[in-house]
Amino acid sequence: MANRVQRWRLTSAVLVMASVGCAATAQDRGIGPTAAAQGAQPRPTAVKVRPEPSARERIAMEAAFARADANNDGKLSRAEAAHLPAIEARFDQLDTNRDGFLSIDEFIAGAMDAA
């Protein structure tokens, strides 16, 4: 008897969660009376998430950064980035803090986006 009650509760919980998930998905996509009544715009369903580099990839990128950093100041100028055509082509896009240099984090983010 206890097994039957537990199974019923579990089944009920799963069905409730599934129906809530379906309703939320419909609203996110702008489907259904709630979204339409509120004038909601459909949300984009695909979001690009930048993968984290593996330890091996990070070491390789740090080595490439160090080779390009001719004056060893810990940042890449536009002239130093000229030795890396893929980075040079997107220098302004990668320089997110707009200081005229690429930090190691900006460099790695750019390398991961290109991969």
Q: Where are the domains of the chain?
A: 2-37, 55-114
Tokens 């489907």 identify what position? 31
For the entire predicted model, the pTM comes to: 0.55
pLDDT number for residue 3: 54
Summarised one tens digit per residue, pLDDT across range 63-93 is: 999 999 999 999 999 999 998 888 899 999 9
pLDDT number for residue 84: 87
- CATH number of the domain at 55-114, please? 1.10.238.10
Summarised one tens digit per residue, pLDDT across range 17-49 is: 444 444 444 455 555 555 555 566 666 666 566
Q: How many residues does the chain have?
A: 115
